[in-house]
Amino acid sequence: MKKNLMLLGFIACTMTAVAQETQVTTQVKTEVTTQVKTQVTTQDQEEPVQKKESWYFKVGGSYFLQTAATEFPIVSGQLPNTDVYGADGTTLLSRETNHGSFGEGFRTNLTAGYRFTTRLGVEMGVNYYIGQSKTMVQTTHKQAVPGAPVFVDGKAEGRIKALDLSPALVLFLGETNGFEPYTKVGVIVPIHGDLTIETNRTYTTPAGITNTYSKDVVKPEPTVGFMAAIGASFKIGKNLSVFSEVEYRNFTVHGKSKETEIYKENGEDKLYTPTSFRPDASYSASHVNYVDQLNSSSNSKVTNAAGFDNTKATDDISSFVGISGLGLTIGVKYAL
C-alpha cells in the first residue's frame, strides 16, 4: 500500500514538472514570435515601398558636331566643287570637292517620359533643329559666257531646318545620392523641314558688275533615322533634376522636289523675267521634281528633249544629303 502511494506521488510530481516546463516553453515561443513580428512591422514602417511608375518631362538645348561626311549633291547643274580659274577664266587652277554633313548645328528639345519600373522607361522627344550653313559650290573667276569677257564669282550655301519626333527606350542604371546614369536608343521621324540653298554670284562685264541672289528650297521624302545616347541626371530638389546627354544621331534625306523661290539681280526681283544671266524664266526652270530614273517619258531635256514641257517641273535624278552628328544636350528634368 505504501509502495502504491509513493509511486502515485512520484507520477504526480513528474506530471507537474512537465506541465510547468511546457508552459514556460510556450511562453518563450510566444514572446519570440511577438518580438519578430514587431521588428518586421517596424522595418516596414521605416522602409516605405519605392514608387516604380512615374511620369517626367525634360527641356534642353544641344549643339551637334558633324560626323560621317559625304559628298554634297549637284546644285543647279553645278558639281559640288570649289573651283579657281586663271585670268582667262577657262584655265582651271585648282579644284576641291565639297563634302560634309548637315548634322552640325543647334537643337532644342522637349521630352515626355514614362518610367515603367526603376530600370525601364520610354520617352517621346520633340526636337527643332537649325543646322550650320555649308558651302556646297564655290567658283572663282570663271568665264560665264563662252568667248565673251564675262566672269563670275559665286558661292552656294545650304542649311537644313527640321522638326522631328524621337521615340526611345530608356534603361536606368541605378540611383546613388541623387545621381542616376542611363542609356537610351530610338528612332528619328522627321515631320517637317527643308534644305535651303542660297546662292550669291557676282558677274563682271565690260559694262559693270551685276550681283545676283537666288534661294532654292528642297523638300524631302519621308525617312527614318537612328539615335543613341548616354546620359545622367542629378537631383537638385524633390521633383527637379538637371541632366546631360551625349547623343549620336544619323539619318539620310532624299530630295522630293525643289523650287526657286527668289531670284534677284542688284536687288530687283527677276524670277520670271528673262535676263542675260538667267535667260530661262519658265516654270520648268524654277521647279524640279526628283525621280529615281530618267527615261524617254520623263520631262527632261536630257532624255526627252523633243517632248520637254516648259510649263511643268523638270524631272531630275534624286539626290540625298546626310544629317549625322554627335552632340551634347544639357537641360532640366521634372518628375511627377
User: Which cell numbers hold the place of 92?
Assistant: 582651271
| Residue 51, pLDDT above cutoff 80 | no
The predicted structure's pLDDT at residue 122 = 97
Question: Is residue 40 scored above 70 in pLDDT?
Answer: no
Looking at per-residue pLDDT, the higher value among 41 and 264 belongs to: 264
CB 160 within 8 A of CB 220: no
pLDDT digits (tens, 9 = 90+) for 205-246: 999 999 999 999 999 999 999 999 999 999 999 999 999 999
Distance of alpha carbon 186 from alpha carbon 323, whole angstroms: 16
CATH architecture of 51-291+317-335: Beta Barrel (2.40)
Residue 13 pLDDT = 44
| Gap between the Cα atoms of 319 and 256, Å rounded | 9
Q: Tell me the average pLDDT across 301-329.
A: 93
Q: What is the pLDDT of residue 31?
A: 53
What φ, ψ does residue 182 adopt, rounded to 5°? -160, 165
Q: Which amino acid is at 252?
A: T
* Domain boundaries, given as residue ranges, for the chain: 51-291+317-335
Give residue 70's pLDDT band: very low, low, confident or very high (50, 70, 90): confident
Write down the pLDDT at residue 276. Answer: 84
Q: What pLDDT does 318 receive?
A: 87
End-to-end CA gap in the chain = 89
Average pLDDT, the chain: 87
Q: Which ranges of the chain does DSSP label H, i.e. alpha helix? A: 2-46, 283-286
Higher pLDDT, 66 or 32: 66
